[in-house]
Structure 1
Amino acid sequence: MSKSVLFELGVEELPARFINNALAQLEEKTAQWLKEQRVPFGEITGFATPRRLAVKITEVEEKQPDIEEEAKGPAKKIALDDEGNWTKAAIGFSKGQGKSVEDIYFKEINGTEYVHVNKFIEGEQTTKLLEDFREVFLSLTFPKNMRWGNRDLRYARPIRWMVAIFGKEIIPFSIEGVNTGNRSFGHRFLGSETTIVDADQYESLLKDEYVIASVEERKAEILSQLKQLEKENDWKLILDEGLLDEVTHLVEYPTVFSGEFSEEFLEVPEEALITSMKEHQRYFPVRSSNGRLLPCFVGVRNGDDQYIDTVARGNEKVLKARLKDAQFFFEEDQKGSIDEKMQKLSRMVYQEELGTLADKVQRIIAITGKIGEWVGLEAEQMTKAKRAAEICKFDLVTQMVDEFTELQGVMGEKYARIFGEEEEVAMAINEHYMPRQASGAVPSTTIGSIVSIADKLDTIVGSISIGIIPTGSQDPYGLRRQALGILQTLTAQGWSIPVEKLIDLVHQFYYELDLPTREKKDVRNDLQEFFQVRAAYLMKEDEIDPDVVEAVLATGIGVYPATKAKAILLVEKRQDPSFKSVHEALGRVLNLARKAESAKVDPKLFENDKEHGLFNAYQNVHDVYRKSMQNNQPQDALNRLSELAKPIHDFFDETMVMAEDEAIRHNRLALLKQIAEDVYAFADLNAIEWKQQF
């Protein structure tokens, strides 16, 4: 007979950001633990609120299944002595399996007979096994742990109660002096203690005590109430999914309410108002049906609708104080000038070994100028780009950004307009922080893209130069995200600038400025590897096969958009049977070219027409091929290489490359090396697994 099992861990309020991961761990570890214990079960359902983590398992059998299995022992020649008596090895084996020698039989395996016995293992009672479930609770990990009282255990929050029942039977165990039982607790203010008489009644009993235990149901209830409020007022709420998740994990029994604030605050940039409402108060901002921000907000109460108007008024007072601060900051920040604010950057340390923010800005200006030259900026645009670079960090000294750090760049753009800067300059101040997340939008303007790349390059090269290299999950400066941003921006703009050229530009700046740095060669290698790993990551995200990624990155990244285009082309060619002959020819060249000592060819040493034919074909293709590569035309470049396939096959059919004559042998290898250098410029074709596709 099967029953349901319920485990509930009651704690002090968990941080909302802990809950999703903790619940996922609990469900996954529960399933794994049950399988390890050989306990048959049906479905696992997890529950979580700020004050509890719980899991219910249905159709749990009362007993492990019995097991009958065959155990293999020593070979027959070891199990029996010369007189046919059982040896100590056979006797010891049978005893170890809980059997006697009378239970032994022989079974042939690969021509040799071995001792075997059949043994029966009776399944244990599930109730007894479930007492060890405490280890699942103890195995949960959290971003931050704490101790309480004189306890030794470090956990997210103090444990206050535990429920553990199999059907209606209590499963006994304890953690740090807290014993399991069948008593749970409802809403901290509206509910009371309740007895879980049956695991299947868990959700309904908690609902009676003003707790919606299901995360999905609680979230759906909040969303339903928000949509109803929208409909009643003809509003359009700014429904941020992250905020909705957070609010869901802050309440056990949600009730939505709305409030208002003075229209005078709408003079403050809406980004500041929205940030204050969302980040500081966990409110949903409100827009009109035509998209205009309204002086209203929506919150979620942890409780019922009793005295909800009073709750709304109280929240209005709190928000008013927040918005008053934002209004004050906005007005104060407009005093003085941008240049006055820029002077403060010289007193703000960017990184102890890399100088102040003013020092960083000077490097950004220099890098911006060089990139501007490479992309062909005209004089007027270059002036704007350098101005954007010069003032890109000025808003970091404003009171608004000091209070709302997530508004850096956003407020810079707005203040730049107020102070009379040109529109492209103002936009670039905001865009140079893009992309703000790994999958975020890249800069849309040319100037914004240049300053963005310059800033990120300086951060990455500077950090790696002094030994700050991301390891594992540790990346305090967000270097991985910034490297991805550079590659994504280069792709979006379609700029033909090799990544290595950008790296070398900034790397050299650090030596010219005599900034602290490690061994030059080591830094350069670390930078190259760091960017190649990021390029590989991006291409794999675009579902380009790993072996193709390895092939196109074998000799470096080069112009990333073109390198990615080569990878996409090779993925297509992998599926094209007509390309097999080309691959075989070029691959054979790559294999033998490794033995060449030089690439200097003397046509006078050729002994047959096929050597001359291949050499002439290569000379005809080489310049056109290199021009296609320089123009980032991978399809045309590969077409040119493909023209060499027949001359290569003819060459190998008629020519012994490893000739006994040393001069002839080296000359033939040199010819292959010249061709191989062109092939490698496209990709290491031998790194691609072609055979499985043809």
Structure 2
Amino acid sequence: MRRDAVLEIGCEEIPARFMPDALSSLRALAGDLLSRERLKFDRLVAYGTPRRLVLYISNLNDTQDEAVRQVRGPAKRVAFDESGKPTKAALGFAKAQGIPVEELVIRADERGEYVYAELRQPGESAAVVLGKVFPRLIGSLPFPRTMRWGDSEMRFVRPVRWLLALFGNQVVEFEVDGVSSGDITFGHRFLSPGPVRLGRAEDYVATMRGLSVLVDPAERRESILAQASRLAAQAGGRVVAGDDLLSEIVFLCEHPRGMLGRFDREFLSIPRAVLTTTMEKHQRYLPVEDESGRLLPCFIAFRDGGDLNIEGVTRGNERVLRARLSDARFFYDEDRKIPLEGYLDRLSGIMFLGGLGTVRDKVDRLVRLVEHLARQLGVSDEITGIAKRAALLCKADLATNMVREFTELQGVMGREYAISSGEDPGVAEAIFEHYLPRSSDDALPGSPAGAILSIADKADTIVACFLAGLEPTGSQDPYALRRQASGIISTIVAQSLKLSLGDLVGVAARGLLQQGLSGESPQDLDERVLDFMAGRLKGYLLERDVRYDLVDAVIAAGFDDIAGAVKRAYALKDFSGKEEFQLMATGFTRAANIAGTVAEAPVDESLLVEDAERALYGAYVEAARRVRDLARRDDPAEMIRAFAELASPIDRFFTEVLVMAEDERIRRNRLNLLAGIAALMKGVADMSKVVVKSG
């Protein structure tokens, strides 16, 4: 027989940002624990609200599956005589295992045939097993931050107040940190206060809905969107609902109730980004816009509760937003009284990183680094001028009132104030774009000047942090250097920029060292940063489904040209699915291994005495000619095809020719040929890193 089971962990309010990962972990850990305990089920679902974490198990077996343990005994030839009758050894082994000798089985392995006893252990009841599993599950749930609460010995995200645990209509008995499980749950704190006894696990979701708690986050999300759309339509608009804010609202409410609030139309003169940031980030309100995408003077807020005094609650939210927007308008008006360039001197009073000077010092470095990058990339004087001007002004908004109050608007307000100060639109856009990408799924800089400044800014920050000993360690990355490194790689690839990573890092390091900020050897600093960048490039390629060994092969061949390395990786990935890839990989790896450290030297054709080596040499000469031409055209895909044409001649060479000939001159000549072949592919991939499939 099968029944449903439910575990509800009742807590004080859990931070909304913790909930999505917590529910994923709850489901994954539960599935693993139940599988280990041989408990079969149809489906696992994790629900959650601010006050509860819920695991719902559908169609769980009444008992564990039977466990079978194999115990090896004596060899068959010892256990049975020539007529097949059991010997004393077999009888003694069966008696020791507590089974009749007739139940012994014979199994063969690499060591021969042996007698085995199959010991069967009946499964325990599901309720008993769950009583062991649930406490382990609760104790193993990971959260970004936990602590001990009161006299508690267990670390948890918030104090546990109750535990509901049912298998069908049976209570699953256990205790966690002084809290005993039972059949009691609690409804909404205000709409359905007090304890409620649950009769069956199967009734859990419906019962909670009756107690004004929507335990399913998907159901709450649907309710929030439906209410928001209806309220926005009342205002003649449509709701602006980002996924992050929606997720946060979902986990701030057990019973979401929407309300339509309004604010003075005059506030619409404030830049849209300021309005939406104030509403979304600071108040968790959903903005409303008209069909053309212009904001309307209204918003949608949600409370965790019902209709009681909803008008008063709406007015209260309106007052709060009005005060926020009044502050924002004051900051905006005050900031524009001086041009953006007027804030530069104030950057001298803002520290960049401990021991690494001020933000103004960083700006001076960026101007020089941007000029160097523009020269290396060969961009026009116009783009260079825009990039340099943007570099000078890109951090100026950090000294403004608005950004000091709303730090997430850095770059956004820089663009706004640049435009209002009469700066070139390209400068304004580059100021905004230099912060991109701000996350893995964010947009990349779209303009050449923005891309150059973005790369320069991130490179300076990465090198500065390494200089200060602030590089990432394990899961700790307080300055988001991994994200910034990935941003550099993504921007270079997206814009197909032909620049030297080593040069970029070296110039950035010299800029810091010239300001007297450290006595570290520039070479040591460069090597540490480049190793870090290699790791980020590896991650970038793995995320795009390039096989790990192909990634290693490409990076080992060099990654100074990031865009080129990525292009080589994609070309190698595409070719790796072809039949000739394995033969090519094997041949080039063998050639490199045998040639060893032999320096590339000319091949003497007169010493090529075997047909196979003459054929290989002819193919090599033709391939080398093609590869040189293809390298100039930056076409790694065709280069790899040229290499592949050497696979068969290489294979024939190793089959028919003895490389280590007795004649030293012939032996040396053959090694020179192999060294030349190995060197041919070194600029594309180190094939010794490729995992060749056997068979």
| Fold equivalence (TM over 0.5) | yes
Change (3 A) 1:115 1:681: closer
Name the aligned partner's letter for residue 43 of structure 1.
R
The 8 Å contact of residues 7 and 55 in structure 1, kept in 2 or not, is answered as yes
Q: Deviations over 1:565-606 (max 9, x none)?
A: 22332333334446777666645533333251x223374873
Alignment correspondent of 1:410: 412
- What's the secondary structure of 1:349's corresponding residue? coil
Alignment correspondent of 2:564: 562
Task: Choose which of 349, 367, 371 in structure 1 pairs with 2:351.
Answer: 349
Alignment correspondent of 1:56: 56
| Deviation at residue 632 of structure 1 after TM alignment | 1.8
Alignment correspondent of 2:35: 35
The 8 Å contact of residues 284 and 297 in structure 1, kept in 2 or not, is answered as yes
The 8 Å contact of residues 279 and 321 in structure 2, kept in 1 or not, is answered as yes
Q: Deviations over 1:494-526 (max 9, x none)?
A: 222232332333334444444326454443333
Q: Deviations over 1:357-380 (max 9, x none)?
A: 112112111110111001213333
| Deviation at residue 306 of structure 1 after TM alignment | 3.0
The reply to whether residue 298 of structure 1 matches residue 294 of structure 2 is no
Change (3 A) 1:658 1:123: closer
Alignment correspondent of 1:436: 438
- What's the secondary structure of 2:268's corresponding residue? helix
| Deviation at residue 256 of structure 1 after TM alignment | 1.2
Q: Which moved more, 1:601-610 or 1:369-378?
A: 601-610
Name the aligned partner's letter for residue 175 of structure 1.
V
Counterparts of residues 441-480 of structure 1 (less than 5 Å): 441-480=443-482
Alignment correspondent of 1:220: 222
| CA–CA separation in structure 1 for the residues paired with 2:505 and 2:667 | 40
Query: Quick one: percent identity of the two aligned structures?
Result: 36
The 8 Å contact of residues 347 and 359 in structure 2, kept in 1 or not, is answered as yes
| CA–CA separation in structure 2 for the residues paired with 1:581 and 1:24 | 44
Name the aligned partner's letter for residue 4 of structure 1.
D
Alignment correspondent of 2:149: 148
- What's the secondary structure of 2:143's corresponding residue? coil
Change (3 A) 1:69 1:594: closer
Alignment correspondent of 2:269: 267
Alignment correspondent of 2:682: 680
The reply to whether residue 47 of structure 1 matches residue 47 of structure 2 is yes
Q: Which moved more, 1:128-137 or 1:399-408?
A: 128-137
Change (3 A) 1:666 1:304: same
Counterparts of residues 205-216 of structure 1 (less than 5 Å): 205-216=207-218
| CA–CA separation in structure 2 for the residues paired with 1:93 and 1:648 | 61
Alignment correspondent of 2:170: 169
List gaps (5 residues or longer) in structure 2.
Answer: none
| CA–CA separation in structure 1 for the residues paired with 2:400 and 2:356 | 23
| CA–CA separation in structure 1 for the residues paired with 2:115 and 2:168 | 45
- What's the secondary structure of 2:460's corresponding residue? helix
RMSD of the alignment, in Å? 3.2
The 8 Å contact of residues 562 and 633 in structure 1, kept in 2 or not, is answered as no
Change (3 A) 1:545 1:585: same
- Number of aligned residue pairs: give it: 687
| CA–CA separation in structure 2 for the residues paired with 1:218 and 1:313 | 24
The 8 Å contact of residues 91 and 100 in structure 1, kept in 2 or not, is answered as no
- What's the secondary structure of 2:155's corresponding residue? coil
| Deviation at residue 343 of structure 1 after TM alignment | 1.1
Change (3 A) 1:465 1:630: farther
The reply to whether residue 131 of structure 1 matches residue 99 of structure 2 is no
Change (3 A) 1:37 1:544: closer
Counterparts of residues 5-24 of structure 1 (less than 5 Å): 5-24=5-24
| CA–CA separation in structure 2 for the residues paired with 1:650 and 1:92 | 59
| Deviation at residue 274 of structure 1 after TM alignment | 0.2
Alignment correspondent of 1:186: 187
| Deviation at residue 92 of structure 1 after TM alignment | 8.2
Name the aligned partner's letter for residue 344 of structure 1.
R
- What's the secondary structure of 1:355's corresponding residue? coil
| Deviation at residue 308 of structure 1 after TM alignment | 1.9
Alignment correspondent of 1:195: 197
| Deviation at residue 347 of structure 1 after TM alignment | 1.9
List gaps (5 residues or longer) in structure 1.
Answer: none
| Deviation at residue 628 of structure 1 after TM alignment | 3.4
Change (3 A) 1:106 1:274: closer
| CA–CA separation in structure 1 for the residues paired with 2:79 and 2:474 | 53
Change (3 A) 1:448 1:643: same
Change (3 A) 1:215 1:627: same
Name the aligned partner's letter for residue 547 of structure 1.
D
Q: Deviations over 1:245-265 (max 9, x none)?
A: 110111111111111001111
Change (3 A) 1:665 1:515: farther
The 8 Å contact of residues 532 and 556 in structure 1, kept in 2 or not, is answered as no
Change (3 A) 1:589 1:227: same
Q: Which moved more, 1:456-465 or 1:564-573?
A: 564-573
- What's the secondary structure of 2:55's corresponding residue? strand
The reply to whether residue 337 of structure 1 matches residue 354 of structure 2 is no
| CA–CA separation in structure 2 for the residues paired with 1:580 and 1:197 | 63
Change (3 A) 1:599 1:112: closer
Task: Choose which of 493, 505, 509 in structure 2 pairs with 1:507.
Answer: 509
The 8 Å contact of residues 467 and 518 in structure 1, kept in 2 or not, is answered as no
Change (3 A) 1:108 1:522: same
Change (3 A) 1:453 1:170: same
TM-score, length of structure 2 as denominator length: 0.90
The 8 Å contact of residues 245 and 280 in structure 2, kept in 1 or not, is answered as yes
Alignment correspondent of 1:531: 533
| Deviation at residue 66 of structure 1 after TM alignment | 4.8
| Deviation at residue 690 of structure 1 after TM alignment | 5.8
Q: Deviations over 1:414-463 (max 9, x none)?
A: 11111121111111110011111112111111111111111111112222
Change (3 A) 1:458 1:74: same
Q: Deviations over 1:130-151 (max 9, x none)?
A: 3322222222121112333232
The reply to whether residue 549 of structure 1 matches residue 556 of structure 2 is no
| CA–CA separation in structure 2 for the residues paired with 1:621 and 1:112 | 54
| CA–CA separation in structure 2 for the residues paired with 1:57 and 1:642 | 54
Q: Which moved more, 1:279-288 or 1:328-337?
A: 328-337
Name the aligned partner's letter for residue 671 of structure 2.
L
The reply to whether residue 422 of structure 1 matches residue 445 of structure 2 is no
